[in-house]
Structure 1
Amino acid sequence: MHLWDYISQHASTLTFLTYQHASLACQTVLVGTVIAIVVAVLVYRLPLASALTLTSSRVALTIPSLALLALLIVPFGLGVVPSFLMLAFFATMPVIGNAVVGLRSVPGSVVEAARGIGLSRWRILLTVELPIAWPVILTGIRVSTQMIVGVAAIVAYVLGPGLGSLIFSGLSRLGGANALEMALTGTILIVIVALVFDALLVLLGRLTISRGLK
């Protein structure tokens, strides 16, 4: 009952923080996806470069997010900029791996057939290889989105936007008025944002993946 009372009394603030959190996650995943696909397109035909890219993307995910955030404070200060850069960095990594794997898994016979009917390399990439690799890439985007929605709570440490401020404010005031409600509400809303994003990505997959690949 106390939780519902807290939510109803602070509905406008919670709505704004949820919008901030969702917007930050959406933008960073979008930027990370674009960067990842561009990098994958540049390296997937080169065995050594693609292997190094795959290894680097996996190793990069072991970097502690708080440590990277702390390093970004030095040149960029507090607020949105270090928050965005840290999240975009981590959003890129899962998608890079899946994009490289997806593009390299396109059957060579399909590429040769496309080349045989006179398609240029870029047309083959855009109309054959990327559509075939898209289900694997989309899986990477889903993983990246779920991870970023959760990690985005950490940016509250550098005064970044989103629901993390609720969680950390509540935890720092445990025992005080509404402290538990703040932390629980922030956590629940983050879970809801993650579920909504995942549902939207599932819908995107149904609309964009060729039936022959399902």
Structure 2
Amino acid sequence: MSLWSYIQGREETLLFLTYQHASLAFQTVLVGSVVALAIGIAVYRLPVLSSLTLTGSRVALTIPSLALLALLIIPFGLGVTPSFVMLAFFAAMPVIGSSVVGLRSVSPAVVESARGIGLARWRILAFVELPIAWPVILSGIRVSTQMVVGVAAIVAYVLGPGLGSLIFNGLARLGGTNAVEMALTGTILVVLVALVFDALLVLLGRLTIPKGL
């Protein structure tokens, strides 16, 4: 059976699984990015703590995602909750690094100039440092999004939502009817979700990054 023949008649199911996958990825990246940005803002002015945070975020990415997911079954059981926690954790790590690096890269002379014209500390952060650091932060969000869209497939192991169920059901049935088509369809749709998200983030960058940065 061809791939197209497999897809025909299953469009509604495939669209629903794709929506679940994209929704889970979007929500976890959003939550992870907000938490990561808050951590970055809290530590970037403290050299020792910011260095430890950077190192910790890089080391955390070496944790096997499947192992972390298995550990999260103990407190949270199966389903959406362990899937969300695991993905949000991994989503935060690249953004923590890009937030710290981006904010630390702002020229002290620019900050001093902002102070000189009487801006309050929070205004300097909101209107000077964050806009200058935003391109670096956004690059971390792009990396995070691509990673999460791919890793989200494994949540099928704990009955999580998304396209992983297609991929792993197909792999488990290799040699059977539609097995290859099932796994291939799931893989292609994951790639398409990743490409769409990346295109949207590129557009967001064009709309939000000040000219000259």
Normalised-by-shorter TM-score class: over 0.9
One-letter amino acid matched to 1:189: L
Corresponding position of 1:97:
97
The whole-number CA distance in structure 2 between the counterparts of 1:47 and 1:168 is: 45
CA offsets per residue over residues 114-168 of structure 1, 9 Å max, x none? Answer: 0000001100000000000000000000000000000000000000000000000
- Structure 2 distance, partners of 1:83, 1:118, is 46
Spell out the pairing of 1:36-115 with structure 2 (5 A cutoff). Answer: 36-115=36-115
Partner residue in 2 for 1:143: 143
Q: Do residues 167 (structure 1) and 167 (structure 2) align?
A: yes
Distance 1:53 1:70 in 2: 25
Q: Give the fraction of aligned pairs with identical amino acids, expressed as a percent.
A: 79
* TM superposition shift of 1:8: 1.5
* CA–CA separation in structure 2 for the residues paired with 1:12 and 1:182: 15
Equivalent in the alignment of 1:187: 187
Summarize deviations over 1:24-59 as a string: whole Å, max 9, x none: 000000000000000000000000110000000000
Query: TM-score, structure 2 length as denominator?
Result: 0.99
CA shift digits 1:162-210 (9 cap, x unpaired): 0000000000000111100000000000000000000000000000000
Structure 2: unaligned runs, 5 residues or longer: none
Q: Distance in 2 between matches of 1:7 and 1:208?
A: 38
Q: Deviations over 1:74-99 (max 9, x none)?
A: 01000000000000000000000000
Aligned residue for 2:28? 28
* 2-structure distance, mates of 1:179, 1:133: 46
CA distance in 2, matches of 1:202, 1:4: 31
Q: Aligned partners of 2:70 and 2:174: how far apart in 1?
A: 25
Which amino acid in structure 1 is aligned with residue 57 of structure 2? S
Residue in 2 that maps onto 1:154: 154
Unaligned runs of at least 5 residues, structure 1:
none
What is the one-letter code of the residue matched to 1:31? V
Q: Which structure 1 residue ranges, 4+ long, deviate > 6 Å from structure 2?
A: none
Q: Which residue of 2 aligns with 1:125?
A: 125
Aligned to 2:212, the other structure's residue is in SS state helix
Cα RMSD of the aligned pairs, angstroms, is 0.6
TM-score, normalising length from structure 1? 0.99
Secondary structure of the corresponding residue to residue 212 of structure 1: coil
Rounded to whole Å, the distance in 2 between the matches of 1:130 and 1:63 is 30
Distance in structure 2 (CA, Å) of the matches to 1:8 and 1:89: 37
* Count of aligned residue pairs for this structure pair: 213
After superposition, where does 1:14-25 map in structure 2 within 5 Å? 14-25=14-25
SS in 2 for 1:9: coil
